Amino acid sequence: MPKEDILKYYNDCFCVYDVVWGLRKYRSVSYGHYDNTHKTHGTAFENANNIISEKLKINSSDIVLDAGCGAGGSGVQIAKKFGCKVVGINIVPRYIEEAKKYASEEEVSGLADFFVRDYNNTNFTDETFTVIWGGDSFCHADSKPVLLSEMYSVSKKGGGIAVSDIFIKKNSLSKKKERLAQRAANGWAVPFYSQINEFKKELELAGFKKISFEENTKNMMPSISRLFRGFLLFYPRERFLYFLGKKSITELNNIKSVLYHYLCFRMAIFMHGTFYAEK
């Protein structure tokens, strides 16, 4: 997926993310982890961060790279909770501005900093970070091996990585299901979602060890349901505004893709979970 398409997607869809996802309230474009004690959008998002942080055993001495940091939600929360250094990067200046504002509001600007950089080629010194955090962002990479190779290079020996994302559940799909999965991906500026076993092999080829995977599809489905309710509410309006020339095709495809994602999860084409590994 060309950078220009990803930039256009996130810039054009900023308002939709803000209204439906509470972007400027929660500073997140990731999914939440719902359970019996975390039943709201905000608490589920924090819960997802806490689960991954605990698995990675983050502490105050860590240096965390939030690769594809969105609007800074995870990075700021990690810095505030653990008192560790966090560096967040993505290629969308508007989101980096939001992340910096959030860090200032939460009084962690001295710990969490954010930069416009490409996670495929970060220009960081090798073995800089003790933790790599990829929260629903690695899906945008055209070449997962290239991205994982870069993440391996900037990780310290013994450092951990967590990649939380949507994955293709089965090794092969019918042509009909494959087309549906591709429509879902492309509408969100994703070239393709990785098949789960292939992604594990790519982690291994990059050099990562002690690889494990924890599925949380059931826990994140309320996030998908929230998006689907937004689709039902806003799609007629967005379609009308598109035909009036007041919405872009990117914005229209974004909201149509919500339906495709919902169907892919209901049909068990997609799953969601987190890969953990170590350098």
pLDDT in tens, 190-247: 999 999 999 999 999 999 999 999 999 999 999 999 999 999 999 999 999 999 999 9
Q: Whole-angstrom Cα distance, residue 157 to residue 22?
A: 37
H/E stretch holding 224 reads helix 217-243
Q: Whole-angstrom Cα distance, residue 210 to residue 278?
A: 6
Beta bridge partners of 132: 65, 161
Q: Whole-angstrom Cα distance, residue 117 to residue 68?
A: 9
Q: What is the pLDDT of residue 28?
A: 85
Q: Which domain holds residue 102?
A: 3-272
Residue 190 belongs to some domain of the structure: yes
Residue 99 belongs to some domain of the structure: yes
Q: Whole-angstrom Cα distance, residue 110 to residue 118?
A: 22
Q: What is the pLDDT of residue 66?
A: 98
Q: Residue 60 in 3-state DSSP?
A: coil
- Residue 274 tokens read as 């987190």
Residue 110 belongs to some domain of the structure: yes
Q: Whole-angstrom Cα distance, residue 158 to residue 207?
A: 12
Q: Whole-angstrom Cα distance, residue 34 to residue 276?
A: 20
Q: What is the distance, to the nearest Å, from the Cα of residue 151 to the centroid of all Cα atoms in its chain? A: 15
Q: Is the pLDDT assigned to residue 22 strictly greater than 90? A: no
Q: Is the pLDDT assigned to residue 23 strictly greater than 90? A: no
**Among residues 82, 47, 46, which one has the least CA distance to residue 62?**
82
For the chain, give the longest Cα–Cα distance.
55
Residue 214 belongs to some domain of the structure: yes
Residue 279 belongs to some domain of the structure: no
Q: Whole-angstrom Cα distance, residue 172 to residue 191?
A: 17
pTM: 0.95
Tally of domains within the chain: 1
Residue 277 belongs to some domain of the structure: no
Q: Whole-angstrom Cα distance, residue 187 to residue 261?
A: 10
Q: What is the pLDDT of residue 36?
A: 95
State the CATH number of the domain containing residue 150.
Answer: 3.40.50.150
Cβ proximity of 257 and 195 under 8 Å: no
Beta bridge partners of 114: 88
Residue 278 belongs to some domain of the structure: no
Q: Whole-angstrom Cα distance, residue 210 to residue 203?
A: 10
Residue 25 belongs to some domain of the structure: yes
Q: Chain-wide mean pLDDT for the chain?
A: 96
